[in-house]
């Protein structure tokens, strides 16, 4: 018996790193300082030209005025699941690895690929699929960080009255 959701996942996975976005701004001290203040974190190293590694996603996030590229594999897969009736989403986990610190003046780009889709799974929230995307950040051709990001896309269980 074929599963159209897993078939779509395989089609998207076959595209590989099918999405690429560039940071709109170079790594800069003002954004680093604002992030440090918001996080309540103080480290002189990050007030002097380096960015905390855990900030890597900040530089390439779409924000309020921009959107992810139309070919973004996570968006494509979650939109397909929505069309199939899996309308709710729950972030489950994020695994990041950092190759080196970023420096003020560097410009990042990120590529995205669909890593896996697993399901259907019955969970306490409802029946759904776990969708994992893989993001890789670069400065030039050098990999500086990676992230696996997983969400559960599900049909909510009926609440009893």
For 7-66, what is each residue's pLDDT tens digit? 999 999 988 777 899 999 999 999 999 999 999 999 999 999 999 999 999 999 877 777
What residues does each domain of the chain span?
4-156
The angle subtended at Cα 89 by Cα 84 and Cα 91, nearest 5°, is: 140
- Domain with residues 4-156, CATH architecture: Roll (3.10)
Half-sphere exposure for 131 (CA within 13 Å, toward CB) = 30
Comparing CA positions, the residue from 133, 140, 135, 149 lying closest to residue 20 is: 135
Q: For 54-108, how does the pLDDT look when each residue is reduced to its tens digit (9 = 90+)? A: 999 999 987 777 777 778 899 899 999 999 999 999 988 999 999 999 999 999 9
The predicted model scores a pTM of 0.87
């Amino acid at each position: 018996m074929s599963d159209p959701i897993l078939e779509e996942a395989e089609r998207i996975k076959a595209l590989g790193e099918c999405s690429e976005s560039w940071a709109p701004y170079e790594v800069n001290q003002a954004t680093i300082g604002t992030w440090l203040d918001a996080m309540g974190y103080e480290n002189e190293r990050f007030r002097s030209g380096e960015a905390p590694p855990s900030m890597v996603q900040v530089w390439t996030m779409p924000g309020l005025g921009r959107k992810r590229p139309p070919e973004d594999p996570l968006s494509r897969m979650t939109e397909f699941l929505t069309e199939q009736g899996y309308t709710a989403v729950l972030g489950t986990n994020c695994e990041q690895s950092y190759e080196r610190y970023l420096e003020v003046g560097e410009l990042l780009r990120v590529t995205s690929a669909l890593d896996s889709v697993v399901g259907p799974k019955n969970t306490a929230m409802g029946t759904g699929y776990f969708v994992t995307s893989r993001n890789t950040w670069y400065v030039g051709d050098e990999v500086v960080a990676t992230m696996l990001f997983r969400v559960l896309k599900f049909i909510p269980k009926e609440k009893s009255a």
